[in-house]
Chains A and B, each alone.
Chain A
Amino acid sequence: MNAPTDTPKLHDCRDAFVETLEALAAEDETIVAVVNDSVGSSKLGGFRDKFPDRLVNVGIAEQNMVGVGAGLANGGMIPFVTGAAPFLTGRALEQIKADVAYSETNVKLVGISSGLAYGNLGATHHSIEDFAWIRALPNIVVVAPADRIETAAAVAWAAEYEGGVFLRLSRVGVPDLLPEGHVFVPGKANSLRDGSDVTLIANGVLSHRALAAAALLDTKGISARVLNMATVRPTDADAIISAANETGAIVTCEEHTIFGGLGSAVAEVVVQNAPVPMTVLGVPGEFAPTGSANFLLDHYGMSPEGIAASAEALITRKS
């Protein structure tokens, strides 16, 4: 990825997560954190020191972790069940289905280092199937914030909301995109830039790349709208239908396999309401090779240049 001329400060969204959680926990004694030996990688050391009785470490045991979270919710607690996203979602998927979604418990699942964040640790540690897995379940709101501001807002919202939430966080640094004081509304996309020729829809660590792609397209006289769509379920159908009708072409970008994630969610709305050409960018049907997250995103055509090229190719197919 080409470095922008004035390099913006990058933030690790885990910091916004724990700062918000600690502030909420200071006010609300029912907030607890549940972890699988992941105190350090989840940055919950501060939480543990401040609220030692409310840090539940079950050891390296993710199925147990989610089940315990559901039980804590039953007992009146608000558990933030926090662990590396691949193991939290993949290992404990049936607990998430039966104990959280089906039982409708007030459990907040926080997947840390999601997507390709674990980079060269390899495909076992990539969490690029989690949108598909969790999105297939009723009763869980799936959220992938784009920056520290949206992360903090989503955590605050999740604590208030009564029901299952999956917060998909990264550890890869991202610049600020949303305005300070932003209020998170589930199922509502935010326009980061207006445009009329094509719409780029992204979330998580892809949103700032999509915005940079729109700037590149602008230099070529192509006007791209950019939607930050943090909530993957429920999807913002209104924003998607407007994008289809008003710009006539949609490119989705996600740190996820192209099977069943954000692109699929958008396509479900597009094909049933306002069919227009679409390109779904993400990891194709393979396990990713060795490389850092940013290397792999570039590798799979999701550098700003790659996204812009996909958009340019797509608009030639507009009717």
Chain B
Amino acid sequence: MKPFTPDELRAKANQIRRRDLQAVFEAGAGHIGGEMSVTDILTALYFNVLRVAPQNPLDPNRDRLVLSKGHTACVLYVTLAERGFIPKEEITTFLQPMSRLNGHPNRTKVPGVETNTGPLGHGLPVAVGMAKAAKISGADWKTYVVTGDGEMQEGSNWEAIMAAAQFGLDNLTLIIDHNRLQQGARLADTNNLAPIAPRLEAFGWEAVEIDGHNMDEILAALSHEGRTPGKPRGIVAHTNKGHGISFMSDNVAWHHKVPNAEQYAQAMAELEEAAQ
């Protein structure tokens, strides 16, 4: 597949947001806030950055992407469907009895998923192992992992951050979806981690801060050009939970709330207008 241009990525991200919104509305469950905040990042990865092939999802030389914030599985499913890993029609089965599309991604059932996530704080250690495997075997595939910002409160992440620096994993990229909100409250009112970038730097990482909804900035940060050899890269992506939908954006109520019919219509109208 030819990598998408920033304009094409913006259009695709909008399409993915709409399909995700519809799926959550129809299933009556999902994590819409964190899905809207991570959509641009996932779209850039799958349609420009990752060297992956839907026909050969287990190609040993594929790039690896771990969605550690597994509660936003629905938007991963939609993205995988758009990219050809699973049939687009299958999205209608999300959360239905016996569907393989449950609320958290399962690698044994869904092609394209690298590891089963759902409990927070698992993806980064696994990604460190992947990146280390590439180093040991001299392979040039890359590993990317996306976490939530609340998720970074889990100690396992910081154990992995230390290990990645120690191992010199410059083939590893951590993208933190920094939407400032966790499940029940703002990070600032719970267990604040901001500013995150200096913390990563203090642990020996190269940190960059971007607007996580700006495609040009996302692509530049994900690029492997001009990186510091021997250092893992941490991207602090400043995002909004519920991005693209005015009444959800930066609103803690929308972690896993489901829109009613009226809210759904308004949300869809806003996304459609943004597509123009």
Query: Which residues of A are interface residues toward B (Cβ below 8 A)?
Result: 37-41, 57-61, 63-64, 86-87, 90-91, 118, 120-125, 289-292, 295
Determine if A120 and B95 form an interchain contact, defined as CB atoms under 8 angstroms apart.
Answer: yes
How far apart are B124's CB and chain A's nearest CB, in angstroms?
A: 13
Determine if B191 and A61 form an interchain contact, defined as CB atoms under 8 angstroms apart.
Answer: yes
- Complex CA gap A123/B185 in Å reads 26
Determine if B70 and A120 form an interchain contact, defined as CB atoms under 8 angstroms apart.
Answer: no
Q: 4 closest pairs, A vs B, by CB? A: A59-B191, A124-B118, A121-B103, A59-B153
Determine if B106 and A59 form an interchain contact, defined as CB atoms under 8 angstroms apart.
Answer: no
Determine the chain B residues whose CB is within 8 A of the CB of A291 once the complex forms.
97-98
- Complex CA gap A60/B95 in Å reads 25
- Complex CA gap A118/B70 in Å reads 14
Determine the chain A residues whose CB is within 8 A of the CB of B118 once the complex forms.
121-122, 124-125
A-B contacts, 24 of them at CB < 8 A, read: A37-B185, A39-B185, A41-B184, A57-B185, A58-B191, A59-B150, A59-B153, A59-B190, A59-B191, A61-B155, A61-B191, A63-B155, A64-B155, A86-B119, A90-B119, A120-B95, A120-B102, A122-B106, A124-B70, A289-B98, A290-B96, A290-B100, A291-B97, A295-B97
- Complex CA gap A213/B186 in Å reads 47
Determine if B191 and A38 form an interchain contact, defined as CB atoms under 8 angstroms apart.
Answer: no
> Which of A38, A122, A295 meets B102, CB within 8 Å?
A122
Determine the chain B residues whose CB is within 8 A of the CB of A63 once the complex forms.
155
Determine the chain B residues whose CB is within 8 A of the CB of A289 once the complex forms.
97-98, 102
Extra contacts, 13 of them, besides A37-B150, A40-B184, A120-B96 (Cβ < 8 A), are A39-B185, A57-B190, A58-B153, A59-B153, A60-B151, A61-B155, A122-B118, A123-B106, A125-B104, A289-B102, A290-B95, A290-B96, A290-B98
Smallest CB-CB separation from A35: which chain B residue?
B184
- Complex CA gap A58/B153 in Å reads 9
Determine the chain A residues whose CB is within 8 A of the CB of B214 once the complex forms.
none
Does residue B131 face the partner (Cβ distance < 8 Å to A)? no
Main SS class of interface, A: loop
- Complex CA gap A118/B29 in Å reads 12
Determine the chain B residues whose CB is within 8 A of the CB of A58 once the complex forms.
153, 191
Determine if B184 and A39 form an interchain contact, defined as CB atoms under 8 angstroms apart.
Answer: yes
Q: Known contacts A120-B102, A121-B104; decide if A40 and B97 are in contact (CB<8 Å).
A: no
> Which of B101, B120, B121 meets A290, CB within 8 Å?
B101
- Complex CA gap A50/B104 in Å reads 35
Q: Known contacts A120-B29, A289-B98; decide if A38 and B184 are in contact (CB<8 Å).
A: yes
Smallest CB-CB separation from B104: which chain A residue?
A122
Does residue B179 face the partner (Cβ distance < 8 Å to A)? no
Does residue B116 face the partner (Cβ distance < 8 Å to A)? yes
Choose among A37, A63, A87, A289 the residue with the greatest number of B CB atoms under 10 Å from its CB: A37
Interface residues of B in 141-182 (CB under 8 A from A): 150-151, 153-155, 182
Determine the chain A residues whose CB is within 8 A of the CB of B151 once the complex forms.
60
> Which of B101, B117, B121 meets A60, CB within 8 Å?
B121
Does residue B5 face the partner (Cβ distance < 8 Å to A)? no
Determine the chain A residues whose CB is within 8 A of the CB of B103 once the complex forms.
118, 120-122, 125
> Which of A41, A60, A124, A295 meets B104, CB within 8 Å?
A124
Does residue B99 face the partner (Cβ distance < 8 Å to A)? yes
Does residue B251 face the partner (Cβ distance < 8 Å to A)? no
Determine if B182 and A59 form an interchain contact, defined as CB atoms under 8 angstroms apart.
Answer: yes
Does residue B48 face the partner (Cβ distance < 8 Å to A)? no
Determine if B185 and A61 form an interchain contact, defined as CB atoms under 8 angstroms apart.
Answer: no
Determine the chain A residues whose CB is within 8 A of the CB of B190 once the complex forms.
37, 57, 59
How far apart are A58's CB and chain B's nearest CB, in angstroms?
A: 7
Q: Known contacts A60-B151, A121-B103, A125-B103; decide if A38 and B119 are in contact (CB<8 Å).
A: no
Interface residues of B in 40-54 (CB under 8 A from A): none
Does residue B183 face the partner (Cβ distance < 8 Å to A)? yes
Determine the chain B residues whose CB is within 8 A of the CB of A41 once the complex forms.
183-184
- Complex CA gap A68/B212 in Å reads 35
- Complex CA gap A59/B190 in Å reads 6
Determine the chain B residues whose CB is within 8 A of the CB of A86 once the complex forms.
119
Smallest CB-CB separation from A296: which chain B residue?
B97
Q: Known contacts A122-B103, A122-B118; decide if A37 and B183 are in contact (CB<8 Å).
A: yes
Choose among A38, A41, A60 the residue with the greatest number of B CB atoms under 10 Å from its CB: A60
How far apart are A317's CB and chain B's nearest CB, in angstroms?
A: 32
